Amino acid sequence: MAGGGAQVLYQDDAVIVLDKPAGVAVSRGRAGLPSVEDWLEGLRQGKRHLPQPAHRLDAETAGCLALGRTRPAMAALGALFADRAVEKTYWAVVVGGPAEDAGVVEAPLLKVSSKAAGWRMVVDPKGQPALTRWRVLGRGDGLAWLELAPETGRTHQLRVHCAARGWPILGDAMYGAAAEGGLHLLARRLAFTLGVRVAVEASVPVAMQAALRRCGW
Protein backbone atom coordinates (compact mmCIF):
# COMPACT_ATOMS: atom_id res chain seq x y z
CA MET A 1 0.00 0.00 0.00
CA ALA A 2 1.27 3.45 -0.86
CA GLY A 3 -0.62 5.19 1.90
CA GLY A 4 -4.12 6.59 2.07
CA GLY A 5 -5.53 3.31 0.77
CA ALA A 6 -3.73 3.39 -2.60
CA GLN A 7 -2.59 0.03 -3.90
CA VAL A 8 0.66 -0.31 -5.87
CA LEU A 9 -0.32 -2.09 -9.09
CA TYR A 10 3.16 -2.17 -10.63
CA GLN A 11 6.65 -1.07 -9.68
CA ASP A 12 10.10 -1.30 -11.24
CA ASP A 13 13.21 0.86 -11.07
CA ALA A 14 11.66 3.54 -13.28
CA VAL A 15 7.90 3.50 -12.76
CA ILE A 16 5.23 3.09 -10.11
CA VAL A 17 1.57 2.68 -11.03
CA LEU A 18 -0.92 3.29 -8.23
CA ASP A 19 -4.59 2.41 -7.91
CA LYS A 20 -5.68 5.84 -6.66
CA PRO A 21 -8.86 5.92 -4.57
CA ALA A 22 -11.64 8.37 -5.35
CA GLY A 23 -11.54 11.41 -3.08
CA VAL A 24 -7.76 11.85 -3.39
CA ALA A 25 -6.39 14.73 -5.44
CA VAL A 26 -3.22 14.24 -7.48
CA SER A 27 -1.85 17.63 -6.41
CA ARG A 28 -2.29 19.57 -3.20
CA GLY A 29 -4.69 22.46 -3.27
CA ARG A 30 -8.17 20.97 -2.93
CA ALA A 31 -9.22 22.12 0.54
CA GLY A 32 -9.74 19.25 2.92
CA LEU A 33 -8.71 16.52 0.46
CA PRO A 34 -5.69 14.23 0.84
CA SER A 35 -3.39 14.18 -2.18
CA VAL A 36 -0.94 11.86 -3.92
CA GLU A 37 1.73 14.46 -3.11
CA ASP A 38 1.31 13.49 0.56
CA TRP A 39 2.57 9.98 -0.30
CA LEU A 40 5.60 10.86 -2.44
CA GLU A 41 8.19 10.74 0.33
CA GLY A 42 7.03 7.26 1.29
CA LEU A 43 7.27 6.19 -2.35
CA ARG A 44 10.80 7.55 -2.80
CA GLN A 45 12.38 4.31 -1.50
CA GLY A 46 15.97 5.48 -1.67
CA LYS A 47 15.75 7.34 -4.97
CA ARG A 48 17.40 10.74 -5.28
CA HIS A 49 14.21 12.46 -6.43
CA LEU A 50 10.62 12.15 -5.34
CA PRO A 51 8.47 10.24 -7.86
CA GLN A 52 6.18 12.46 -9.90
CA PRO A 53 2.81 11.80 -11.57
CA ALA A 54 3.07 11.61 -15.36
CA HIS A 55 -0.59 12.57 -15.87
CA ARG A 56 -3.63 13.67 -13.93
CA LEU A 57 -6.84 12.11 -12.66
CA ASP A 58 -9.69 14.13 -11.18
CA ALA A 59 -9.88 13.83 -7.41
CA GLU A 60 -13.27 12.13 -7.83
CA THR A 61 -11.91 9.55 -10.31
CA ALA A 62 -10.41 6.31 -9.01
CA GLY A 63 -7.90 4.10 -10.79
CA CYS A 64 -4.56 3.83 -12.54
CA LEU A 65 -2.04 6.63 -12.02
CA ALA A 66 1.54 6.34 -13.33
CA LEU A 67 4.50 8.03 -11.65
CA GLY A 68 8.10 8.30 -12.81
CA ARG A 69 10.75 7.38 -10.22
CA THR A 70 13.77 9.04 -11.85
CA ARG A 71 14.26 12.21 -13.89
CA PRO A 72 14.80 10.25 -17.16
CA ALA A 73 11.75 8.09 -16.43
CA MET A 74 9.62 11.16 -15.69
CA ALA A 75 10.66 12.71 -19.02
CA ALA A 76 10.09 9.45 -20.93
CA LEU A 77 6.66 8.90 -19.39
CA GLY A 78 5.69 12.49 -20.11
CA ALA A 79 6.72 12.00 -23.74
CA LEU A 80 4.64 8.81 -24.03
CA PHE A 81 1.54 10.60 -22.79
CA ALA A 82 2.21 13.63 -25.02
CA ASP A 83 2.65 11.36 -28.05
CA ARG A 84 -0.55 9.42 -27.25
CA ALA A 85 1.51 6.25 -26.90
CA VAL A 86 -0.25 5.21 -23.68
CA GLU A 87 -3.37 3.04 -23.86
CA LYS A 88 -5.94 4.47 -21.43
CA THR A 89 -9.19 2.65 -20.76
CA TYR A 90 -11.90 3.94 -18.44
CA TRP A 91 -15.14 2.46 -17.19
CA ALA A 92 -18.10 4.74 -16.56
CA VAL A 93 -21.72 4.26 -15.58
CA VAL A 94 -23.85 6.84 -17.36
CA VAL A 95 -27.43 7.95 -16.94
CA GLY A 96 -29.56 6.93 -19.91
CA GLY A 97 -26.97 5.91 -22.43
CA PRO A 98 -26.38 5.92 -26.17
CA ALA A 99 -28.72 4.21 -28.61
CA GLU A 100 -25.75 2.77 -30.49
CA ASP A 101 -23.32 0.16 -29.17
CA ALA A 102 -20.11 2.04 -30.04
CA GLY A 103 -18.99 5.36 -31.41
CA VAL A 104 -16.75 8.40 -31.16
CA VAL A 105 -17.23 11.80 -29.56
CA GLU A 106 -15.10 14.46 -31.20
CA ALA A 107 -15.75 17.85 -29.62
CA PRO A 108 -13.27 20.61 -28.70
CA LEU A 109 -13.14 21.65 -25.05
CA LEU A 110 -12.66 25.11 -23.61
CA LYS A 111 -12.19 26.16 -19.98
CA VAL A 112 -14.56 28.92 -18.88
CA SER A 113 -14.98 30.59 -15.52
CA SER A 114 -17.06 33.17 -13.73
CA LYS A 115 -16.88 34.68 -10.29
CA ALA A 116 -20.31 33.31 -9.43
CA ALA A 117 -20.00 29.76 -10.72
CA GLY A 118 -16.25 29.10 -10.76
CA TRP A 119 -14.65 27.18 -13.63
CA ARG A 120 -15.80 24.33 -15.82
CA MET A 121 -15.09 22.84 -19.24
CA VAL A 122 -17.50 23.33 -22.15
CA VAL A 123 -17.74 22.15 -25.73
CA ASP A 124 -16.69 25.12 -27.86
CA PRO A 125 -15.22 25.43 -31.38
CA LYS A 126 -12.53 27.70 -29.92
CA GLY A 127 -11.38 24.98 -27.52
CA GLN A 128 -8.66 22.34 -27.80
CA PRO A 129 -9.39 19.28 -29.96
CA ALA A 130 -10.67 16.31 -27.93
CA LEU A 131 -11.61 12.81 -29.06
CA THR A 132 -13.10 9.94 -27.07
CA ARG A 133 -13.90 6.46 -28.38
CA TRP A 134 -16.60 4.55 -26.52
CA ARG A 135 -18.48 1.26 -26.51
CA VAL A 136 -21.31 -0.13 -24.41
CA LEU A 137 -20.41 -3.03 -22.12
CA GLY A 138 -23.84 -3.40 -20.50
CA ARG A 139 -27.20 -1.77 -19.88
CA GLY A 140 -29.89 -1.89 -17.23
CA ASP A 141 -32.26 0.12 -15.07
CA GLY A 142 -31.91 3.32 -17.07
CA LEU A 143 -28.11 3.17 -16.91
CA ALA A 144 -25.36 2.12 -19.30
CA TRP A 145 -21.88 0.78 -18.56
CA LEU A 146 -19.37 2.26 -20.99
CA GLU A 147 -15.76 1.60 -21.87
CA LEU A 148 -14.17 4.94 -22.73
CA ALA A 149 -10.86 5.38 -24.54
CA PRO A 150 -9.71 9.01 -24.69
CA GLU A 151 -7.24 9.73 -27.48
CA THR A 152 -6.56 13.16 -26.01
CA GLY A 153 -6.17 14.07 -22.36
CA ARG A 154 -8.13 17.26 -21.82
CA THR A 155 -9.36 18.29 -18.39
CA HIS A 156 -12.72 16.65 -17.58
CA GLN A 157 -12.80 15.29 -21.15
CA LEU A 158 -14.78 12.13 -20.48
CA ARG A 159 -17.21 13.86 -18.16
CA VAL A 160 -17.98 16.67 -20.61
CA HIS A 161 -18.13 14.42 -23.69
CA CYS A 162 -20.62 12.09 -22.02
CA ALA A 163 -22.75 14.96 -20.74
CA ALA A 164 -22.68 16.66 -24.15
CA ARG A 165 -24.10 13.52 -25.76
CA GLY A 166 -26.96 13.50 -23.27
CA TRP A 167 -25.75 10.71 -21.00
CA PRO A 168 -23.86 12.28 -18.07
CA ILE A 169 -21.76 10.08 -15.83
CA LEU A 170 -23.68 8.93 -12.78
CA GLY A 171 -22.83 11.06 -9.76
CA ASP A 172 -21.19 13.88 -11.71
CA ALA A 173 -22.32 16.88 -9.69
CA MET A 174 -20.65 19.37 -12.07
CA TYR A 175 -21.94 18.15 -15.44
CA GLY A 176 -24.93 16.07 -14.40
CA ALA A 177 -26.34 15.41 -10.94
CA ALA A 178 -24.92 14.17 -7.66
CA ALA A 179 -25.71 10.57 -6.70
CA GLU A 180 -24.96 8.11 -3.95
CA GLY A 181 -21.49 6.68 -4.44
CA GLY A 182 -20.11 9.82 -6.08
CA LEU A 183 -18.66 9.98 -9.58
CA HIS A 184 -18.94 6.57 -11.29
CA LEU A 185 -15.75 6.86 -13.34
CA LEU A 186 -12.75 4.52 -13.10
CA ALA A 187 -9.37 4.68 -14.83
CA ARG A 188 -9.61 0.93 -15.36
CA ARG A 189 -6.53 0.07 -17.43
CA LEU A 190 -3.19 1.64 -18.35
CA ALA A 191 -0.68 0.13 -20.77
CA PHE A 192 2.60 1.45 -22.16
CA THR A 193 6.14 0.40 -23.02
CA LEU A 194 9.03 1.97 -21.18
CA GLY A 195 11.88 -0.50 -21.56
CA VAL A 196 9.40 -3.24 -20.69
CA ARG A 197 5.71 -3.62 -21.40
CA VAL A 198 3.54 -2.44 -18.52
CA ALA A 199 -0.18 -3.26 -18.47
CA VAL A 200 -2.23 -2.92 -15.29
CA GLU A 201 -5.86 -2.90 -14.23
CA ALA A 202 -7.39 -1.08 -11.28
CA SER A 203 -9.94 -2.72 -9.02
CA VAL A 204 -13.58 -1.65 -9.19
CA PRO A 205 -14.37 0.62 -6.23
CA VAL A 206 -17.08 -0.58 -3.89
CA ALA A 207 -19.02 2.64 -4.59
CA MET A 208 -19.36 1.70 -8.29
CA GLN A 209 -20.21 -1.97 -7.91
CA ALA A 210 -23.97 -1.75 -7.34
CA ALA A 211 -24.54 0.39 -10.43
CA LEU A 212 -22.31 -1.86 -12.54
CA ARG A 213 -24.25 -4.93 -11.42
CA ARG A 214 -27.44 -3.22 -12.59
CA CYS A 215 -25.79 -3.06 -16.02
CA GLY A 216 -24.77 -6.72 -16.07
CA TRP A 217 -21.25 -6.65 -14.59
Three-state SS sequence of 14-42: CEEEEEECCCCECCCCCCCCCEHHHHHHH
Please state, in angstroms and rounded to a whole number, the distance separating the CA atoms of residues 71 and 75: 6
Please state, in angstroms and rounded to a whole number, the distance separating the CA atoms of residues 62 and 1: 15
Element (H, E) at 52: strand 52-53
Contacts 24+ apart (CB under 8 A), 32-39: 33/59, 34/4, 36/6, 36/65, 36/67, 38/3, 38/4, 39/2, 39/3, 39/4, 39/6
**Residues annotated as catalytic (active site), given as ranges:** 58
